[in-house]
Structure 1
Amino acid sequence: MELTYIFIAHDLSVVQYMSDRIIVVYLGKIVEIATAKDLYDNALHPYTKALLSAIPVPKVNQKSNREELVGEAPSPINKLGGCSFHTRCKSAMDICKKECPPLRCSHDDHLVACHLYGH
């Protein structure tokens, strides 16, 4: 029997154990879709990378490689043009301000909406 549940969560340390496939959403837009294993092993979108880096490290002596997001999140009501994450992305390019990237297949059914992985 095939069964689908939509599990909306902010605790990514739990999501990997409850999901076969994960969809990452930023300001209402899908930015990445992948299997749980592929997403945690090989996140592509800068927002996904920042989210995963924010998962608390259980070992006291282990240093965290947390990627801090800078800048303000744009208004979800008065949306800017281009990629919704470009104001907070340290890898943003000029095209990111102008064009919203389509969701593209990167590899093995791993989809990402980012100009860094385009064409």
Structure 2
Amino acid sequence: MSTARTRIIFTAAAAILLAASAIGGTAAAQATVHHETDTALADAFNGVDRNTNWQLTSKLKLKFPTYHTEGIAFSGDHIFLSAVQIIEPTVKFPAPQGGFDRTPGKGIGHLFVMD
């Protein structure tokens, strides 16, 4: 490999590392910003746990296989739905092994974007 090409590769790598450090530093700085605004909505979310009772407010019939849905998000013009197509289900261990309570299973992740 020529010296010029090596220099270009190292310069590019250094630029990428510098950019990644700057982005990471900015994200870390933003993460430490604490807002003192307690709202009713935030308080309500803090009260949610496994025993929270949910009330169905509406239904949306989708005319395609949605598999095992995981999450949903709404934006101005789109609905984003994440799901996993289970290929091999997880199997629960009799006792935790290596910090895990079940096998990982196998699946295919899907992200559906709807208008």
Flag whether TM exceeds 0.5 (same fold).
no
Greater C-alpha Rg: 2
TM-score with structure 2 length normalisation? 0.19
Return the structure number with greater helix share: 2
- Greater RCO (Cα-Cα under 8 Å, separation 6 or more): 1
Return the structure number with greater strand share: 2
TM-score with structure 1 length normalisation? 0.19
